């Protein structure tokens, strides 16, 4: 799911994140090659507060300065995963079983590459998604992009 540079950045950030009690949900590199934007999505047990974002921004920025991942300028954004939380690992799918997810595969599976359904579970690196009563087994390694489908209840 992650590109080579994104995986390198994730691998470099993971040890410090573990020390800080922070989960690196995912890393995205977007925008122009000359001045890309590096987005680091973090989570902590109980949710991300402004203070945690601020503290993480500081140590992630310091690590990025050491790594110097791109020649020239880049923009660093540190954020909570939000309502449409990215799903990257089998553990993410297991944690959010019962929730609705949007999944896009790198190659067609049973003639389709886009799925929206309820996460039924995950086993042996394969996520099971219930799409309108049909079960799809999707190897996590075949997923190009996946995220929760956020829902807001305005009635309460």
C-alpha span between 59 and 65 (Å, rounded)? 10
Statement: residue 15 has pLDDT above 90: yes
Statement: residue 71 has pLDDT above 90: no
Stated pTM of the model:
0.84
Q: How much is the average pLDDT of 20-49?
A: 92
Dump pLDDT digits (tens) for 101-155.
999 999 999 899 999 999 999 999 999 999 999 999 999 999 999 999 987 778 7
């Amino acid at each position: 799911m992650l590109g080579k540079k994104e995986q390198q950045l994730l691998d470099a950030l993971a040890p410090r994140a573990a020390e800080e009690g922070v989960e690196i949900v995912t890393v995205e590199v977007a925008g122009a090659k000359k001045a890309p934007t590096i987005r680091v999505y973090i989570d902590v047990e109980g949710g991300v507060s402004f203070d945690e974002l601020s503290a993480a921004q500081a140590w992630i920025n310091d690590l990025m300065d050491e790594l110097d991942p791109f020649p020239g300028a880049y923009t660093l954004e540190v954020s909570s995963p939000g309502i449409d939380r990215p799903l990257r690992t089998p553990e993410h799918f297991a944690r959010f079983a019962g929730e609705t997810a949007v999944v896009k595969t790198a190659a067609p599976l049973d003639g389709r590459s886009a799925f929206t359904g309820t996460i039924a579970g995950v086993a042996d690196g394969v996520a099971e998604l219930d799409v309108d009563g049909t079960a799809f087994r999707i190897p996590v390694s075949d997923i190009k992009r996946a995220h929760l489908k956020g829902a807001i209840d305005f009635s309460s």
